[in-house]
């Protein structure tokens, strides 16, 4: 990461993050879609998305199996409980292996939502998020509340 310590108003700028998918400076934020001024008026928000909902499906299926077993034949409830536990465990293992957490960083720009960055690497995501926050803060109007 390259850092230039001149203030933005003194013909220099600061590079907060320069990665393969995004560059964040004190003047602009550039990704594969476009280039946006760093003085965007709205703040950033982050979104966490799961791409493979195996955990949720396993929990719902397990709960449905237990409810069905309790209604149809209460004596089979222990066996249904064991099967539901096995199904939920399998779902958790599959979800852990196949579903890395996908994180997205969005900003509001000219009245629309723009995705600045997304990825599954938490460390890289947090570096980009902090860089965008720094770029927004350095361009904030000191007279605005």
pLDDT digits (tens, 9 = 90+) for 13-38: 889 999 988 999 988 899 999 998 88
Tens digit of each residue's pLDDT (9 = 90 or more) over 98-123:
655 678 888 878 778 888 898 888 78
The whole-model pTM stands at 0.57
- 69-90: buried (b, 16+ CB within 10 Å) or exposed (e) per residue? beeeeeeeeeebeeebeebbee
């Amino acid at each position: 990461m390259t850092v230039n310590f001149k203030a933005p108003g003194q013909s220099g700028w600061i590079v907060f993050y320069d990665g393969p998918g995004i560059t964040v400076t004190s003047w602009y934020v550039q990704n594969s879609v476009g280039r946006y001024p760093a003085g965007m008026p709205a703040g950033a928000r982050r979104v966490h998305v799961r791409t493979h909902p195996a955990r949720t499906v396993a929990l719902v299926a397990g709960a449905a199996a237990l409810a069905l077993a309790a209604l149809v034949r209460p004596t089979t409830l222990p066996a249904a409980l064991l099967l539901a536990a096995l199904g939920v465990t399998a779902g958790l293992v599959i979800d852990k292996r196949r579903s890395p957490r996908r994180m997205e960083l969005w900003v509001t720009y000219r009245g629309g939502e723009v995705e600045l960055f997304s990825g599954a690497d938490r460390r890289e995501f947090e570096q980009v998020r902090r860089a965008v926050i720094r770029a927004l803060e350095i361009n904030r109007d000191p007279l605005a509340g």
